[in-house]
């Protein structure tokens, strides 16, 4: 009887910032996911809640788990530390997964099987459902408007049963993605000027421009509690980076002939967000929207101290 080939090495990168309970739950789901050639890399973003102590206590003797302590909060792009470690280990795939997400048993194997069947797929995305209601989709990928360079989640609120077949999608949301390391080698790591939001969008656009595809595998399911570390989608923090970094994306990747359309759309988005926040009585988020636009126009990037936040 022939010996069955060992499946390709996958390194799962879990990024944490002050949410040790979520990160432990995420890591435990990975360790229990039934994939036999897995390494888990936990990157802690200078948490102040005792996260690293908790990780050392739980996984210090676990040879499958590696711990990386970042000296500062590097935002989403601190995933680069884990991705770099995965490349050093010789992984074929890196699974980037938010600490507020958990993966269902068998899902990683399904993602890898799809990637192996589709060698032109740089990214295979799972169907991401809402943690509180597995029947409701949180994301079935990311739609992207190529005219104005704006990303939006696909399928939010849909019944999960609608997604029964594998399909190519415009982009994938960075909350959970299986990324082929060969594609990373071609386009490089996440752009650190973005810090958080739109960084994976730029990454994936570069991969697609290099000839790669992005695929949704709906039979692989991840459960996600949306935007825990940034407080959700309408906070001052998320609003600032969404506006500012969309500006950088337009500046860097939008064709010159579409910029006269994309830039006015960015300004309109910033003011619309500001007005909506003001109507809610949320002055911090209103100022963040305008501040994000202003900082982009001033050429500011990376992590910013939002002094106007409450």
Mean pLDDT across 288-296: 98
Q: What is the pLDDT of residue 21?
A: 96
Task: Locate 85 and state its tokens.
Answer: 């470690």
pLDDT in tens, 27-37: 999 999 999 99
CB atoms within 10 A of CB 124: 28
- What value does the mean pLDDT take over residues 123-150? 97
Kind of pairing between the strands at 121-130 and 213-224: parallel
DSSP reduced 3-state for 138: strand
Beta bridge partners of 197: none
For residue 45, pLDDT over 70 is answered with yes
How many CA atoms within 13 Å lie on the side-chain side of 34?
9
pLDDT over 70, % of the chain = 95
Spatial neighbors of 283 by CB under 8 A, at least 6 apart, are 277
What pLDDT is stored for residue 303 in this prediction?
A: 93
What three-state secondary structure class fits 236?
A: helix
State how far the Cα of 19 lies from the Cα of 43, in Å rounded to an integer: 12
Q: Could you read off the pLDDT of 232-270 as tens digits, one per residue?
A: 457 999 999 999 999 999 999 999 999 999 999 999 999
- When pLDDT is averaged across residues 45-49 and rounded to a whole number, the result is 94
Give the span between the Cα atoms of 307 and 310, in whole angstroms: 8
Residue ranges and CATH numbers for the domains of the chain are: 10-224 (3.90.550.10), 236-297 (no CATH)
- Look up residue 278 and give its two tokens: 């003001």
Strands, E assignment, the chain? 10-16, 38-45, 65-70, 93-98, 101-103, 121-130, 133-139, 142-145, 150-153, 167-168, 176-180, 213-224
Residue with tokens 């960015």: 266
Query: Model pTM?
Result: 0.94
Q: What share of the chain is helix, strand, coil (3-state, %, to 5)?
A: 40, 25, 35
Structure tokens given for 143: 């739609």
pLDDT digits (tens, 9 = 90+) for 64-121: 999 999 999 999 999 999 999 999 999 999 999 999 999 999 999 999 999 999 999 9
């Amino acid at each position: 009887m022939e010996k069955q080939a060992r499946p390709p090495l996958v390194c799962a990168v879990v990024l944490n910032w002050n949410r040790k309970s979520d990160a432990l739950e995420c890591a435990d789901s990975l360790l229990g996911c039934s994939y036999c050639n897995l390494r888990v890399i936990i990157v802690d973003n200078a948490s102040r809640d005792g996260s690293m102590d908790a990780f050392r206590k739980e996984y210090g003797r676990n040879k499958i788990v590696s711990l990386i302590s970042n000296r500062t909060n590097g935002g989403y792009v601190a995933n680069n530390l884990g991705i770099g470690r995965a490349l050093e280990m010789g992984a074929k795939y890196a699974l980037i997964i938010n600490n507020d997400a958990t993966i269902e048993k068998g899902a990683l194997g399904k993602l890898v099987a799809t990637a192996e069947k589709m060698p032109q797929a740089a990214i295979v995305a799972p169907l991401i459902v809402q943690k509180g209601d597995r029947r409701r989709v949180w994301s079935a990928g990311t739609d992207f408007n190529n005219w104005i360079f704006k990303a939006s989640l696909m399928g939010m609120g849909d019944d999960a049963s609608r997604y029964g077949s594998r399909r190519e999608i415009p982009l994938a949301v960075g909350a959970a993605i299986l990324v082929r390391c060969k594609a990373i080698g071609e386009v490089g790591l996440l752009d650190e000027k973005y810090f958080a939001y739109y960084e994976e969008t730029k990454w994936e656009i570069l991969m697609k421009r290099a000839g790669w595809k992005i695929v949704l595998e709906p039979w692989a399911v991840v459960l996600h509690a949306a935007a825990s570390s940034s407080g959700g989608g309408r906070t001052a923090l998320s609003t600032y980076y969404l506006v500012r970094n969309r500006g950088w994306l337009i500046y860097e990747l939008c064709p010159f002939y579409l910029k006269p359309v994309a830039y006015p759309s960015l300004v309109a988005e910033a003011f619309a967000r500001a007005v909506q926040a003001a109507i809610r009585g949320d002055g911090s988020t209103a100022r963040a929207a305008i501040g994000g636009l202003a900082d982009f126009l001033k050429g500011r990037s990376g992590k910013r101290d939002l002094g106007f936040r409450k």
